[in-house]
């Protein structure tokens, strides 16, 4: 986003927590951009759920930094609720408008996972303050817009729908056979899952669906390889124990998280990408896979209902339904011609809606509109 905004003439400073002590305090990001890292008292990795307690220190350091040149900035764009809280303080300090993108909402998370607790209550209250305090909200999918209005009382005229973008120079269709060969998967039908190994990402549903598929269609396992990409060494070891216990170790491989340059190769090698999340505000993994010409089977939840067109670019199935997921997997894997058409339609949809130039032109226009209205 920062790089594409610079192409349209914007100067962009990205402020972030200084989580890697070896990283520089400040470095260039494109010809007209910078990344500026602030310690907020701790120049080290802090788990996401603990970051809230460091927001006041982050804001103090942020104000000190920008106070030396108050006239530099025209607009604040905060992303995620923690940055939204910091942005509210900066908005008042600098007297400039704030645009905010949540990317995920506490109300939806609470509803879909049935979770509760002090951290979630704190988040819900903060999100209400952000909705009330910012000048404009960006929703990445229609479902998110509806949730903002229903759960937080946001006004429709203060919400603009702008999806997330994908780098189609990196994520694009390619030779599936060559991609498989490069990954040592020649002759295999590849099913891909990309994401964290958290309950709400639905990995358990996928594993249960594979068990169903193995019982109903044991022949599928003869030439099928399922790749679970994401997580660190500890996650990989933990998943391998699960696979062994379920009798899936020979057909499912745990792969550590990959950089985007390598990830594109995995997408291109797959017959299908599965996104079985319990909730998903937008569904970037689905869009990256579609950009590579790979059909997607996803849960019928949140933004996935917007990114994936059922029966056109892939299939939507009920969340937490292994039988429905297994049935769609069997259909895609047994009909290569249909899967090819789904993948081609998926790539076209990405080109039409989700490329960064298209997204950023809309975002830049919103910035101009917000500035003029002030």
Per-residue pLDDT tens for 308-345?
999 999 999 999 999 999 999 999 999 999 999 999 99
The lowest-confidence range among 18-27, 52-61, 193-202 is 193-202
Residues 134 and 38 in one domain: yes
Residues 205 and 296 in one domain: yes
In a domain, 68, yes or no: yes
The pLDDT confidence band at residue 88, using thresholds 50, 70 and 90, is very high
Give the distance, in angstroms, between the CA of residue 279 and the centroid of all CA atoms in the same chain.
12
The lowest-confidence range among 59-63, 233-237, 356-360 is 233-237
* Whole-number pLDDT of residue 283: 93
In a domain, 171, yes or no: no
DSSP category for residue 190: E
pLDDT at 233 over 90: no
Q: How many CA atoms lie within 13 A of 164 on its CB side?
A: 22
199-211 residue pLDDT tens: 889 999 999 999 9
Any residues with CB less than 8 A from the CB of 198 and at least 6 apart, and which?
none
In a domain, 37, yes or no: yes
Query: Within 10 A of 18 (CB to CB), how many other CB atoms are there?
Result: 20
Kindly report the CATH number assigned to the domain that includes residue 25. 3.40.50.2000
* Whole-number pLDDT of residue 46: 93
pLDDT at 187 over 90: yes
Residues 283 and 161 in one domain: no
pLDDT at 90 over 80: yes
How deeply is 175 buried, as exposed, middle or buried, from its count of CB atoms within 10 A (0-12, 13-18, 19+)? exposed
How does strand 224-229 pair with strand 252-255?
Answer: parallel
Query: How confident is the model over 28-34, as a mean pLDDT?
Result: 96
* Whole-number pLDDT of residue 68: 82
The pLDDT confidence band at residue 44, using thresholds 50, 70 and 90, is very high
Residues 224 and 187 in one domain: yes
DSSP category for residue 95: T
The SS3 assignment for 273 reads: strand
In a domain, 225, yes or no: yes
| Rounded Cα distance, 212 and 297, in Å | 16
| Rounded Cα distance, 360 and 354, in Å | 10
Query: How confident is the model over 133-156, as a mean pLDDT?
Result: 96
| Rounded Cα distance, 225 and 364, in Å | 43
The SS3 assignment for 58 reads: helix
Any residues with CB less than 8 A from the CB of 342 and at least 6 apart, and which?
295, 312, 313, 314, 332
* Whole-number pLDDT of residue 351: 96
DSSP category for residue 188: P
Are 144 and 281 a contacting pair, CB within 8 Å? yes
270-306 residue pLDDT tens: 999 999 999 898 999 999 999 999 999 999 999 999 9
The owner of tokens 């599936």 is 176
Residues 317 and 347 in one domain: yes
Domain that holds residue 276: 176-353
The pLDDT confidence band at residue 365, using thresholds 50, 70 and 90, is very high
146-168 residue pLDDT tens: 999 999 999 999 999 999 999 99
Query: How confident is the model over 83-93, as a mean pLDDT?
Result: 96
* Sheet bearing 26-28, strands edge to edge: 12-17, 33-38, 26-28
For 274, the enclosing helix (H) or strand (E) is strand 272-275
59-87 residue pLDDT tens: 999 999 998 877 789 999 999 999 999 99
Q: How many domains does the chain have?
A: 2
The owner of tokens 């047994």 is 334
pTM passes above 0.85: yes
Residues 161 and 246 in one domain: no
How deeply is 364 buried, as exposed, middle or buried, from its count of CB atoms within 10 A (0-12, 13-18, 19+)? middle
In a domain, 297, yes or no: yes
Residues 139 and 197 in one domain: no
Residues 260 and 235 in one domain: yes
In a domain, 170, yes or no: no
Residues 144 and 253 in one domain: no
**Average pLDDT score, the chain:** 93
* Whole-number pLDDT of residue 240: 87
């Amino acid at each position: 986003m920062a790089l594409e905004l610079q192409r349209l003439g914007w100067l962009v400073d990205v402020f972030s927590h200084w989580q890697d002590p070896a990283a520089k305090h400040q470095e260039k990001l494109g010809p007209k951009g910078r990344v500026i890292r602030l310690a907020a008292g701790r120049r080290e990795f802090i788990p996401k759920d603990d970051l809230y307690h460091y927001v006041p220190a982050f804001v103090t350091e942020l104000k000190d930094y920008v106070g030396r040149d108050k006239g530099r900035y025209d607009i604040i764009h905060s992303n995620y609720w923690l940055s939204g809280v910091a942005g509210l303080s900066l908005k008042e300090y600098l007297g400039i408008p704030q645009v905010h993108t949540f990317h995920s909402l506490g109300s939806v998370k609470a509803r879909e996972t049935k979770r509760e607790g002090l951290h979630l209550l704190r988040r819900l209250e903060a999100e209400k303050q952000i909705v009330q305090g910012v000048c404009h909200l960006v929703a990445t999918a229609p479902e998110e817009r509806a949730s903002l209005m229903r759960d937080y009382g946001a006004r429709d005229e203060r919400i603009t729908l702008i999806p997330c973008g994908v780098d189609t120079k990196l994520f694009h269709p390619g030779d599936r056979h060559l991609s498989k060969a490069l990954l040592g998967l020649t002759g295999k039908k590849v099913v891909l899952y990309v994401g964290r190994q958290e309950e709400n990402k639905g990995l358990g549903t996928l594993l249960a669906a594979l068990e169903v598929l193995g019982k109903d269609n044991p022949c599928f396992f003869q030439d099928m390889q399922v790749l679970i990409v994401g997580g660190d060494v500890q996650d990989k070891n933990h998943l391998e124990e699960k696979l062994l216990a379920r009798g899936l170790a020979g057909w499912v491989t745990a792969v550590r998280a990959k950089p985007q340059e390598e990830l594109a190769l995995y997408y291109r090698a797959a017959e299908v990408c599965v996104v079985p999340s319990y909730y998903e505000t937008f569904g970037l993994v689905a869009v990256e896979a579609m950009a590579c010409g790979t059909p997607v089977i996803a849960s019928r939840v949140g933004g996935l209902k917007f990114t994936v067109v059922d029966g056109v670019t892939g299939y939507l199935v009920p969340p937490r339904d292994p039988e429905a997921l297994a049935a769609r997997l069997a259909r895609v894997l047994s009909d290569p011609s249909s899967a090819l058409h789904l993948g081609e339609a998926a790539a076209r949809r990405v080109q039409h809606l989700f490329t960064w130039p298209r997204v950023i032109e809309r975002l830049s226009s919103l910035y101009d509109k917000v500035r003029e209205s002030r």
